[in-house]
Amino acid sequence: MIGSVIGTYRVTACLGTGGMGTVYQGVDVMLDRPVAIKVLKPELVANPQLIERFRTEAVLLGKLNHPNIATLYGFLPIGNQQFAMVMEFLPGTSLETLLQQRGAMPLPMAVPLFSGVLDAIGHAHRQGIIHRDIKPSNVMVLPDGTPKVMDFGIARALGSSHQTRVGAIVGTLEYMSPEQIQGKETDARSDIYSLGILLYEMLTGRVPFAADSEYALLQAHIQASPPPPRVFTPDIPEIVAQVVLRALEKDPNRRFQTAGEFKLALVAATTPSLAAIPSDVRVALSLSGTSNGLTSPICPPPSPSPAASKMLPPFHQTALPPSPVVATKSSDVWLKVIAWSLAGVAALVFVLATLAYVWVHRGGAVPESRTPAASQPPSHEEAISLPPATNTALPPPERDPLEVPPPSRSDPPGVLIPDVLPPRSGGVISPEPPSTSEEVAPKKQPPKRTGKDQSGVSERERRRRKALEALDQ
């Protein structure tokens, strides 16, 4: 097998052999990346049930995409009724090897590793897949400390038909749940039980149940209570031990219902602020139980010491402060509706006021053609339609004979022609002596209209008024 080429993958070395197949190390000749190639043992190729289970593992693994789960690259046929599963190559050490080398892990090291495993199994559960074979040998720890869950060989999709015969036990006995041993229907809570045993082993260095025979081991899982983890590792906090024991409950309804709930309880139990609370005044941490409303505490509330009893008053004598009134969602909705309504009314009033202002100052103004200026002369048509003027003009006012009228447009500049001539004497007009600059200087005042000009203006104004009255009629 070593040196052969499967598709675009070349087999380079053998990594190990399991119960059903062999895992080889290879390289993708097209992408130049290392891969792991898993194939069935030659003696198992003739078993159609094992071939179908091998294909089911590839199908289920192809549906999962999570940083804590080994990635599937492809599923290729090789030879007659033989297949190869190409997966992500994971350099590192299995969790089983780490536990054999160092034994129990300290809490700061065990909790981050186990949290990654919980994230991976929780992702599989949300995709409707249960692992059914969670154990340390199926968890790889990369050099940077990232855990990777592998081997979904006996995993099953929820609601799918069973591939094993009735009464057969599938899995590893040390990590199997009671309902899995009894052949009952399994779900995500069976993986929660196996995860509890895995955490128990990581904190204590051993599994909770050990027996000389398989039968005794199966009976221990079904009937016996696991010893508290503090019996083997006394420095484990009590609240952490209670989290582990809750995951190992015989009744699935009393366990954590999801991997996320398990992680939440573990993180809360290992928070430094909670661990610093004295045991005699620690409040029992309660987590939601089954979906039917069952709520059970992780650990029973400890009885307070005499010193704590003196410091703390009895609960029934302590008056609780009234709870503040919290606005409901419906009231918030009504407040928003009222606010938007007021804003709409204000916008409408603003628009109406703007339109009224524009209409008054633009649309309602009197056109300039209806109010002609007094100094504008009448047009030719108006002059024809006007009635003849009557001899009712007022006599012109008396004028000073020495007053000089303003120069007309046709007069040359600097020449002043008097409007009124002096009286004749002997038939000869005696011209006025030329005026000097001193005499012209005071005549810079604006000239006054003569009686003839004022009569003409009043006559034209009277004609214009009569024309406007005729138009209005």
- Per-residue pLDDT, 139: 94
Residue range 45-67: average pLDDT? 85
Residue 371 has pLDDT above 90, yes or no: no
- Give the separation between CA 351 and CA 344, rounded to whole angstroms: 11
Confidence of residue 289 (pLDDT cuts 50, 70, 90): very low
- Give the separation between CA 50 and CA 82, rounded to whole angstroms: 11
Q: Binding site for ATP: which residues?
A: 38
Whether residue 28 lies in the annotated active site: no
Q: How many Cβ atoms are within 10 Å of 314's Cβ, its own excluded?
A: 7
- Per-residue pLDDT, 212: 85
Catalytic residue among 133, 191, 251, 472: 133
Residue range 143-156: average pLDDT? 81
Residue 108 has pLDDT above 60, yes or no: yes
- Residue burial 272-311, b: 16+ Cβ < 10 Å; e: rest: eeeeeeeeeebeeeebebeeeeeeeebbeeeebeeeeeee
- Per-residue pLDDT, 253: 93
Residue range 417-422: average pLDDT? 48
- Per-residue pLDDT, 45: 80
Confidence of residue 160 (pLDDT cuts 50, 70, 90): very low
- Per-residue pLDDT, 456: 59
- Per-residue pLDDT, 405: 55
- Per-residue pLDDT, 154: 62
- Per-residue pLDDT, 336: 83
- Give the separation between CA 269 and CA 372, rounded to whole angstroms: 96
HSE (side-chain half, CA atoms, 13 Å) at 145: 8
Confidence of residue 464 (pLDDT cuts 50, 70, 90): confident
Q: Which domains does the chain have, with CATH numbers?
A: 8-88 (3.30.200.20), 93-279 (1.10.510.10)
Confidence of residue 169 (pLDDT cuts 50, 70, 90): low
- Give the separation between CA 117 and CA 112, rounded to whole angstroms: 9
Range scoring the smallest mean pLDDT among 72-81, 191-200, 374-383: 374-383
Confidence of residue 16 (pLDDT cuts 50, 70, 90): confident
